[in-house]
Amino acid sequence: MWEIFKTVLYLSVTGSCLTGVLAALKPITSRHIPAGWLYRIWLAAAVSMLVPLWKLVPEQGAASISRQLTERRAAMTVVPVISASEASSITYSSASFSPSAQGGWDIYELIPYIWLFGAAVFLTAAAVSYAVFLSRKRRGSIELENCSALDEIKFELNINRRIRVRLSRSSDSPMLVGAFFPVIYVPSGMIDENALRMIFRHELTHYRRGDLLYKWLTLIVNAVHWFNPFAYILSYNVNQSCETACDMSVIKSMNESERRLYMKTILDTIENSN
């Protein structure tokens, strides 16, 4: 368990450093790097907090690198000469401070289990919260049959999967839920056909890009690194860059009037949700 926890700590430190650098450079990168690439960079940072890349190095290569480092350290290290009495004194001193030698409980042995318990609690709370959220959404909504606007946008985006639409009385803003059984919730008061097309284009672009799966990825990052505030900063930036990249992907093929309508729909949605 300690080896697993040490790997998590290494990932947490490297991921925190990468997140800090990206957050510091955000005012510059947001102006000079396309939104789609920024989204990929933030996703790469999220993956770096879950995948120990150094373990992917072949064992022979790792052994060669380790041997070279050991030889260089040995050449640079000056070994002090001590007497036998000094050596026995050092050995006795280290043993005297060992918790196991005094018969006490080593608190450090509990740390990996505390981390594992925290991750389990985080995932359980997230799963229960999501299930309750979906249940409330479904109870306060009705399914919309034969939506021509949805079929039109699905055809344009080459999406053949069945995606349901539900009119929600408890939702102020549209949303796509369900990575495997997708449903688009639309506020019941939103009946304008052109606005619906813009909303469907946005939500179906999320679906086509697999953004819901990436959001679950950030949830796993938060669960594994629940003790690290940088994990939550990373998750926030992934979600923010996801929305920006989606908007840029939607409007890139629109003409000027369509872009105005799209931005008006987004602003109206934000205003209603606030």
Residue 26, helix vs strand vs coil: helix
Whether the CA torsion 101, 106, 108, 112 is positive or negative: it is positive
User: What domain range includes position 262?
Assistant: 2-55+110-273
Smallest Cα–Cα separation from 9: which of 17, 117, 21, 237? Answer: 17
Reported as a single tens digit per residue, the pLDDT across 162-221 is 999 999 887 678 899 988 889 999 987 766 788 889 999 999 999 999 999 999 999 999
Reported as a single tens digit per residue, the pLDDT across 49-106 is 999 877 665 655 555 655 666 666 566 555 455 555 554 554 444 444 444 444 455 6
With residue 143 as reference, give the H or E element that holds it: strand 141-143
Cβ atoms of residues 115 and 8 within 8 Å:
yes
Least confident of 87-91, 124-128, 153-157, 242-246: 87-91
Residue 195 is assigned to a structural domain of this protein? yes
Residue 153 is assigned to a structural domain of this protein? yes
Residue 258 is assigned to a structural domain of this protein? yes
Q: What is the mean pLDDT of residues 255-267?
A: 87
User: What's the whole-model pTM score?
Assistant: 0.78
Smallest Cα–Cα separation from 135: which of 166, 163, 161, 162? Answer: 166
- Mean pLDDT rounded to a whole number for the chain: 84
> Is the confidence at residue 239, as pLDDT, over 70?
yes
Number of domains in the chain: 1
Residue 85 is assigned to a structural domain of this protein? no
Q: Which residue type does 107 have?
A: I
In angstroms and rounded to an integer, the radius of gyration of the C-alpha atoms of the chain is: 27
Residue 93 is assigned to a structural domain of this protein? no
Residue 104 is assigned to a structural domain of this protein? no
How far apart are the C-alpha atoms of 210 and 182, rounded to whole Å?
Answer: 11
Residue 60 is assigned to a structural domain of this protein? no
Please identify which residue in the block is written with the tokens 């909303």. Answer: 199
Residue 76 is assigned to a structural domain of this protein? no
Strands 183-187 and 175-177: antiparallel
